[in-house]
Homo-oligomer: A and B are copies of this chain.
Amino acid sequence: MIPREGTNLDPWYGLYADRTAGLSASEVRALFAVASRPEVVSLAGGMPFVSALPLESIRSSMERVMRDQGARALQYGSGQGTPELREHILEIMALEGVRAGVDDVVVTTGSQQALDLIAKLFLDSGDVVLAESPSYVGAMGIFRSYQAEVSHIAMDADGMIPAALVERIASLRAAGRRIKFLYLIPNFHNPAGVTLSWERRLEIIEIARREGVLIVEDNPYGLLWFDRPAPHAMRSVETDGIVYLGSFSKTLAPGFRIGWALAPHAIREKLVLAAESAILSPSAVNELVVSDYLANADWKGQIDTFRGLYRERRDALIDALEHYLPDLEWTNPNGGFYVWVTLPEGLDAKAMLPRAVKELVAYTPGTAFFADGAGRANLRLSYCYPTPNEIREGIRRLASVVRGEQELLSTFHPTGPVDLVLPAPHVISPPPNLG
Cβ B280 vs Cβ A283 within 8 A: no
Residues of chain B contacted by A240 (CB below 8 angstroms): 11
- Closest residue to A385 on the B side, CB-wise? B75
Cβ B76 vs Cβ A67 within 8 A: no
Other-chain residue from B16, B59, B141, B266 in contact with A10 (beta carbon distance below 8 A): B266
The answer to whether the Cβ of A327 comes within 8 Å of any Cβ in the partner chain is: no
Interface flags, A1-36, vs B, CB<8A=1, else 0 = 111110001111101111110011100000000000
Q: Known: A50-B74, A76-B433, A285-B286. Is A4-B276 also a contact (CB below 8 A)?
A: no
Question: What is the total number of copies of this protein in its complex?
Answer: 2
Question: For residues 313 through 329 of chain A, which have their beta carbon under 8 Å from a beta carbon of chain B?
Answer: none
The answer to whether the Cβ of A245 comes within 8 Å of any Cβ in the partner chain is: no
Among A47, A76, A121, A212: residue with most chain B CB under 10 A: A76
Question: With A11-B212, A254-B280 given, can you name 14 additional A-B contacts, CB distance below 8 Å?
Answer: A1-B173, A1-B212, A11-B264, A15-B214, A17-B124, A23-B121, A25-B269, A75-B254, A78-B433, A79-B433, A109-B109, A257-B282, A276-B429, A283-B283
Other-chain residue from B67, B78, B429 in contact with A273 (beta carbon distance below 8 A): B429
Please report the C-alpha to C-alpha distance between residue A276 and residue B116 in the assembled complex, in whole angstroms: 11
Please report the total number of A residues contacting B with Cβ < 8 Å: 98
Cβ B75 vs Cβ A67 within 8 A: no
Please report the C-alpha to C-alpha distance between residue A432 and residue B276 in the assembled complex, in whole angstroms: 9
The answer to whether the Cβ of A418 comes within 8 Å of any Cβ in the partner chain is: no
Cβ B267 vs Cβ A255 within 8 A: no
Residues of chain B contacted by A420 (CB below 8 angstroms): none
Interface flags, A60-76, vs B, CB<8A=1, else 0 = 00110011001111111
Residues of chain B contacted by A51 (CB below 8 angstroms): 71
Please report the C-alpha to C-alpha distance between residue A179 and residue B432 in the assembled complex, in whole angstroms: 36
Residues of chain B contacted by A408 (CB below 8 angstroms): none
Other-chain residue from B12, B123, B127 in contact with A266 (beta carbon distance below 8 A): B12
Cβ B120 vs Cβ A17 within 8 A: yes
Residues of chain B contacted by A270 (CB below 8 angstroms): 16, 20, 23
Residues of chain B contacted by A113 (CB below 8 angstroms): 278-279
Residues of chain B contacted by A433 (CB below 8 angstroms): 75-79, 280-281
A-B contact pairs, 19 of them (CB 8 A): A1-B179, A9-B266, A12-B264, A13-B266, A15-B214, A16-B122, A19-B120, A20-B121, A23-B277, A47-B76, A50-B75, A58-B74, A59-B67, A76-B254, A79-B433, A112-B279, A116-B278, A255-B285, A257-B282
